[in-house]
Structures are given as C-alpha cells and as structure tokens.
Amino acid sequence: AQSVSQHNHHVILSEAASLELGCNYSYGGTVNLFWYVQYPGQHLQLLLKYFSGDPLVKGIKGFEAEFIKSKFSFNLRKPSVQWSDTAEYFCAVNARNTDKLIFGTGTRLQVFP
Amino acid sequence: DTAVSQTPKYLVTQMGNDKSIKCEQNLGHDTMYWYKQDSKKFLKIMFSYNNKELIINETVPNRFSPKSPDKAHLNLHINSLELGDSAVYFCASSQRAPEGETQYFGPGTRLLVL
C-alpha cells in the first residue's frame, strides 16, 4: 500500500530564513507528486506538482520541489520565507493512472516577523 | 469564479440527525471526490466518482452515502450523525488525463456534531 511521510510536523522560522520540508513516499511504481498548502481556515491550494520530466519543479509563491527517485523523496523548498507563508503544507502522491491521492500528515509552518 | 463550491460552509447539528453537504464544480471535470480532514489535519479520501459512477469507496461507515446527479455535482448525505463525524469535509474534482491529473479542492464544510 502507498504511504506518504512528512517528518517535520511543526516548523518555526523567522522571516527570510530558508525552508525545506521533507516528503517521502513508499510505492514501487510510477507516481505523480504534489504539494498543497492550506492557509488558516482555508481550503487546499496546489503549490506545485511533478508528473514527469525535469525533477526540479517550480511552483507558485517562490516554492520549488525536487523529485529524487532513488530516495523516494519530493522535498519542498523556499529560499526565503515570509510571514504570509504561515500555513499547513501537505505532500500527496498518487500512483500513475489512479484517482486515489494519498496525503502525508502535513507540516505546520509558522513564520515569525 | 468559484471552481469547486460547497454548501454549507458550516454545519452544527445534534447527534442522530441526518444532514447533507453539496458540492458543485464548474471546471468541466469528470471526476469528483470527498475527503475528510480530522482534528489533527489528516486528510483521507472517502469516495470518488467518475462520470457519475462510484470509483473509490474507502472504508467509510454506510451512514455516509454519496450521490452524483450529474458529473458536475457530488453530494454527501450522512445519516444518524455521531460525535466522531465532526470534521472538515472537502470536495475536490479533477480531469482524467494520460499524464496525470490534478485535484482541485473546494472551501470545505466544517461539521460539528453536538
């Protein structure tokens, strides 16, 4: 069965600090990978996704993620966070050609001015 | 322009009641989903429908019954509500494509069972 692990449950940073959130998945086949963000009290919004091609994908708001197939990882990065990045971040995976999206447990990011 | 909309946004009700949550998408997608987000923010898929046909039915009590009158709508009816049903319910939609599909989420319905 597929599973997704996000090891950082709660991250606290100051503005301008660099961010890296870990995401690892377990599945032997071809996968599609996603990062979603959920701002307080709001719905999930897509930050970025990887289907194929360049393993370094760029998303909205200056976020990027790198797919490392050998490590089954899809870590999210941002060089300089802002207070407005305070939110819950979810990594998600689905096996190619399936509808079922498996989410990680989420990472709560708090950015202080 | 609301892509995926849900009503109501908030729902407070007593144990034992029956309630429905509605979802509509105007993206022209062919697949719709219901997810449950618990108090620890964990998201789990409950159901998915493709062109009004049930595709995914996770281990969900049969008190939960999805209904898809057409491919733009997926409603969730819950019978005999229990305290443990309190959660945020998210609807999502996507369009099947060979390379993969992206799910777009609605604003959520916060259900509180007293």
Q: Which residue has the higher pLDDT, B2 or A54?
A: A54
pLDDT of residue B2: 65
**Which residues have a Cβ under 8 Å from the Cβ of A82 and sit 6 or more positions away?**
A15, A111
Residue reference for tokens 């099947």:
B96
Residues 8-67 of B with CB under 8 A from A: 31, 33, 40-45, 48, 50, 55-56
pLDDT digits (tens, 9 = 90+) for B59-100: 788 999 999 999 899 999 999 999 999 999 999 999 988 778
Q: Which of B50, B96, B108 sits opposite A43 (nearest CB)?
A: B108
What is the rounded distance in angstroms from the CA atom of residue B43 to the CA atom of residue B40?
9
Per-residue model confidence (pLDDT) at position A41 = 85
SS3 B104: strand
Q: How confident is the model at residue B1 (pLDDT cuts 50, 70, 90)?
A: low
The pLDDT, as a whole number, for residue B96 is: 82
| Ordered DSSP codes for A37-82 | EE-TTS-EEEEEEE-SS-SEEE-GGG-EEEEEGGGTEEEEEESS--
Mutation choice for B interface testing from A50, A90, A101, A108 by most B CBs within 10 A: A101
- CA-closest candidate to residue B29, choices B48, B50, B44, B47: B50
